[in-house]
Structure 1
């Protein structure tokens, strides 16, 4: 203990100097403590000298356990967070002051964003940082960006889909007329042509859904039953790929207000994607449960190769896909359906460890419609 006191003596002296300065003028002390932003004072050894109440709350550790420790030492700051903080400190020492947005992944795997503004030597050897949690704002901006993208794609989709559908109809007609001749001489060609035409037709339907979603009839339904019916549809395909679908469904889930066929479309899309990323077999684990008392959460976890953080951010964007022959439209449609249900989709993934899709749906949707 004596050694530790000696080690932090410099920091203690600076802290006392700072406290004396602030206490000499109660107005400044009050501004420091009552600021709506988190405020932090630290020395040139990166050790915390003082922190206000908001900062204490955001960090999640009592002030008495922060004073004297380096800014990046609290045990709830993971490795990626330490690197972000050190990068910010380097810029402060180099420029004298700096502003940056720092990205963290917290202990629960959630993305956290902080705006940080720091100034060197506001008092001799004492540095000052203002920081603010902007995670909610970043999430809303991301949702708005995807929503705007969906609107633009929807407007384009209507015209494109109809332009493609007209020649498609002619092609289908002529192929049917030539069916006997082609199947007799070139059966494999006929199979490939009809299969690809069906795929184009499927893409057109997804375009049309984005352009003008079908009128929805929301009704109270059992989510577990919807998921069970979806799993029954895909079990045969899973078995062919040596995949087992494991379900952990919370019993006594309350009914949710939804459009069951649209939810089924979302589940089918995500589960089929999971099957396709597991060429060597494995398990797909599906879980349903209540969260925070007012929302139902569905998680679909695969054992595939995982997705990088950069690619996760782009999922749901038009024509972005991690599959060789995908269009990305299926996931766009899924995002739109869940958005129409006032829910949200978020994804967690570690490369080499698999991916989990989380879908959360509100219980009080009926009251909001």
Structure 2
């Protein structure tokens, strides 16, 4: 019995020891819980102070859209106090439907999907319209279920206004840029801009048409000119000189069949005057140059015509006497001298022909014009042309329009044009060559075409072939084509030429059929 009592006492001691240990562990746990609780309270207070100092509005909401927390600035946003908002939803607080209905929809989406979101909304307050940006972030519990939503609301009215102003300025800038580009594109000159390295950064449509060879590969070339000082007068050198600070005004350049006035200027920064690029203007003055050359040609023709009219009488009178005496001497001369007299007579006739050609160059020469049919004139000269062509082994083909309108022409002068052009073509061809004479009718003109498949004319000569005394022949006077042009212009017409070396040459003569031109 005693033994049982002792065993029971021993068990009581052990239980007492366990209770002492449990009491000690409880005290430790309670101490740790108290410390943890104090830390949490301190963190909460710190978090509250941080939020209270922040300009952002902070809210915590539950699934029923009730505010479980609201910062001071958050409550002030709606003109309320913190404690007025806690435990209430926006309907109870009578907040703006315009803002809160979309807000509630996004809030439910965050609870459902657990994904953060942000939006910008427009809100109307008694003190005015504001733009608010709100961020909704899910708060998960230990079961990974969204238990609340942490929301930060920020007033972005100033930013929104700045964006609006920036957008308006951007639209205005784009409008101004488009207007400027349209002005540049419609400018009657080629314009291109290069950066400091010589790359083309802007150009108008006319630049692409007039300057197809200038591309951004100019960089290497311009840099070489910059290093060399840009001493030559190429396009690249002119732009390089502008990049070096030089202003170039009205530099004349002729390229192929185009004439340009080139100006180039450096582009500088507004405040520093540092050169950041260059701009070049190419003004096409080809038409002006052609007019200037045409006026010069007409002046030469006028001078030649006046000279021919003045000296023709003085030359022909003594020539008539010389030819008369020469004919008498030829009749009385010995047979061996008659051939020499014949050579002299031929040369006198040649002089007479040259004087006649001089007179034909006179633009103000008075000629009698009559209503004629161009096809009939061609048909009348065809036998003579065919005879000349046959001597050189040349074939002539006629391709005349079936019906051509009547024209006011001087038949003799039109025949002279046909003879001059045809004989030039015959001389330019080898045996078995082909000469084509055609007429075509358009709405207000009749076109005469004389074409061959001869040797062609060098491109460098095409602009000179109508100049008086210009010839590539050893025995030519250089007056034939000048006479043709003078005659055509006296008939209010136009003569043009197309030629390719080794392929042949074609002359196109256009006679107007309008009543006004016929009257002229």
| Fold agreement, TM-score > 0.5 | yes
Aligned to 1:4: none
Instruction: Return the alpha-carbon distance in structure 1 between the equivalents of residues 237 and 427 of structure 2.
Output: 45
- The answer on whether the counterparts of 1:246 and 1:285 sit within 8 Å (CA) in structure 2 is yes
SS in 2 for 1:287: strand
Instruction: Return the alpha-carbon distance in structure 2 between the equivalents of residues 185 and 22 of structure 1.
Output: 99
What is the root-mean-square deviation in Å for CA atoms of aligned residues? 3.6
Q: Return the offset for 1:315.
A: 2.2
- The answer on whether the counterparts of 1:277 and 1:304 sit within 8 Å (CA) in structure 2 is yes
Q: Return the offset for 1:272.
A: 1.1
**Mapping 1:132-143, distance limit 5 Å:** 132-143=283-294
Alignment match of 2:235 (pick from 79, 88, 112): 88
Change (3 A) 1:71 1:143: farther
Q: What is the TM-score normalised by the length of structure 2?
A: 0.54
Change (3 A) 1:268 1:302: same
Aligned to 1:179: 330
Q: Return the offset for 1:165.
A: 1.3
Instruction: Return the alpha-carbon distance in structure 1 between the equivalents of residues 468 and 192 of structure 2.
Output: 45
Long gaps (5+) in structure 1:
1-19, 74-85, 105-110
State the 4+ residue runs in structure 1 displaced beyond 6 angstroms.
Answer: 20-23
Aligned to 1:336: 486
Instruction: Return the alpha-carbon distance in structure 1 between the equivalents of residues 398 and 199 of structure 2.
Output: 49
Instruction: Return the alpha-carbon distance in structure 1 between the equivalents of residues 320 and 209 of structure 2.
Output: 61
Q: Confirm or deny that 1:325 pairs with 2:472.
A: no
Q: Deviations over 1:340-366 (max 9, x none)?
A: 112222223333333222222222254
- The answer on whether the counterparts of 1:219 and 1:258 sit within 8 Å (CA) in structure 2 is yes
**Mapping 1:14-33, distance limit 5 Å:** 24=173, 30-33=179-182
Aligned to 1:117: 263
Instruction: Return the alpha-carbon distance in structure 2 between the equivalents of residues 314 and 231 of structure 1.
Output: 29
Instruction: Return the alpha-carbon distance in structure 1 between the equivalents of residues 309 and 383 of structure 2.
Output: 33
Aligned to 2:110: none
Q: Return the offset for 1:301.
A: 2.0
Instruction: Return the alpha-carbon distance in structure 1 between the equivalents of residues 485 and 309 of structure 2.
Output: 19
Q: Return the offset for 1:152.
A: 0.8
Change (3 A) 1:101 1:71: farther
Instruction: Return the alpha-carbon distance in structure 1 between the equivalents of residues 375 and 441 of structure 2.
Output: 12
Alignment match of 2:416 (pick from 265, 268, 275): 265
SS in 2 for 1:313: coil
Instruction: Return the alpha-carbon distance in structure 2 between the equivalents of residues 185 and 352 of structure 1.
Output: 46
Instruction: Return the alpha-carbon distance in structure 1 between the equivalents of residues 363 and 494 of structure 2.
Output: 21
Q: Deviations over 1:299-345 (max 9, x none)?
A: 22223333333333222323222222222223222221111112222
SS in 1 for 2:467: coil
Aligned to 1:103: 255
**Mapping 1:1-369, distance limit 5 Å:** 24=173, 30-35=179-184, 36-43=187-194, 49-52=201-204, 55=206, 59=209, 70=215, 87-94=234-241, 96=243, 98=248, 99-104=251-256, 111-121=257-267, 126-182=277-333, 184-211=335-362, 215-290=366-441, 293-364=443-514, 365-366=516-517, 368-369=519-520
Instruction: Return the alpha-carbon distance in structure 2 between the equivalents of residues 183 and 213 of structure 1.
Output: 47
- The answer on whether the counterparts of 1:338 and 1:344 sit within 8 Å (CA) in structure 2 is yes
Instruction: Return the alpha-carbon distance in structure 2 between the equivalents of residues 184 and 122 of structure 1.
Output: 90
Change (3 A) 1:288 1:116: farther
Q: Greater Rg, structure 1 or structure 2?
A: 2
- The answer on whether the counterparts of 1:182 and 1:189 sit within 8 Å (CA) in structure 2 is no
Larger mean Cα displacement after TM superposition, 240-249 or 315-324: 315-324
The count of aligned residue pairs is 323
Instruction: Return the alpha-carbon distance in structure 1 between the equivalents of residues 330 and 506 of structure 2.
Output: 44
Q: What is the TM-score normalised by the length of structure 1?
A: 0.74
Q: Return the offset for 1:195.
A: 1.8
SS in 2 for 1:316: coil
Long gaps (5+) in structure 2:
1-168, 219-232, 270-274
- The answer on whether the counterparts of 1:156 and 1:211 sit within 8 Å (CA) in structure 2 is no
